[in-house]
Structures are given as C-alpha cells and as structure tokens.
Amino acid sequence: MEKMTPKAAYKHAHEVIKGRWPEGENIILRDSYWAFEYARTIIKGRWPEAETAKNNKSNAFWAYRYAHEVIKGRFREGEAAILTDPEWAYWYALNVIKRRWPEGEKIIATSADYALDYAGNILKRRWPEGEKIIKTDPRNAYWYAHTMIKGPWPEAEAVINSDRVAALYYGRDIKNYKREARNKALRDTRLAASNARKAKS
C-alpha cells in the first residue's frame, strides 16, 4: 500500500469500497485533484483534512473548485492561494462570493481579460482601477468602451486603433455616438422651443 498512488487509492475507494476508505486517505491527500474528487464524490461534503493540506490550500485552481463544488461557499483557508491568480480570483468572486470582492481586485487588475469581465459581470459599471490594464489590449479596450463607457475612450484609442478589427468596430461606434448626440441636441432644441411657445400662450 505504501507504493499506491493517490489515483489508485481514490479508485479503490470509489470503485471497490464504494465509500470512504480511511486507510487510503493519507495517500489521496498527497494529490490536490484526487483529494478534491474524494471530497466531491465520496465524502460529498467538506473534508477538513484536505482543507489544511498544504498542497491543496496553496493551489488556486483546486481551492476555487473546492469552494465552488464542494463547500458551495467561501473557502477562507484557500483564499490566499486564490488571490495569487487573476483567473481564479475572478471566478471565485463571480461564482462563490457572487458580488464585489475588494480583496481580489488587486490581482484581477493585472489581467486585461479578467479585469474586463470583473467590470462587466460583477461591478456592472466602469472600474477605474482596472482600466490601466484593460487599455493595453485593443479588443478588450474596444469592448470596455462599447459596454461600460458607452462612448468614446480617448485614452485607449491608440491601442484600439492598432488592431484592425477593434478599430473598425470602434470607428462604427463613434459614428453612432455622434449621430445620437446630434439627434439628442435636436430633440432638446425642439423641446425647449415648444416649452417657450407654451409659456407665451
């Protein structure tokens, strides 16, 4: 049994014993993936020994999955690991915390992709702290301007225009913004004139 791998120990518990196998748990704990699977499919709930195992709580991916799929809530012991990776910090905020996560914003703001997703899917508004990294990527910068700013973004235009597709769509949007601004100005002028006439009558 000393030479048994974590995978073999998990499979023995799952396929032969069809339940917990205490004698093999120390072996399973050596591997984050099989510890996660053991908690998820055999224990079907929290496994404290796995939560305190260094290799499990220090792995951002498995800490996130353990929180999302096993605990179905925050895994505070694993948050230090999650906070080292912008991808899993974003998914943790979206699927586990399900709201703004201030502690995760510093690391999320290091990724143009996940800073854009965090602003759009969690904050649902402009996120100044993430704009510095978002505007380094032309397509992310375009989409941020289109969905969050909903108007021109002069600070990012040089980057947006470095990509043919992003520049094409941004240029189309700018024309639409200008047309909408002209139409609004015309409506406002007509409304003001109508109100002036009513006031005189």
Give domain limits for the chain: 137-201
Calculate mean pLDDT across residues 153-163.
96
pLDDT confidence tier of residue 54, bands split at 50, 70 and 90:
low
In this prediction the pTM is: 0.83
Calculate mean pLDDT across residues 157-184.
88
Q: What is the largest CA-CA distance in the chain?
A: 99
Q: What pLDDT score was predicted for residue 180?
A: 72
Q: Mean pLDDT score of the chain, rounded to an integer?
A: 91
In the numeric block, which tokens belong to residue 54?
């260094």
Q: What pLDDT score was predicted for residue 2?
A: 65
Q: Say yes or no to pLDDT of 194 above 80.
A: no
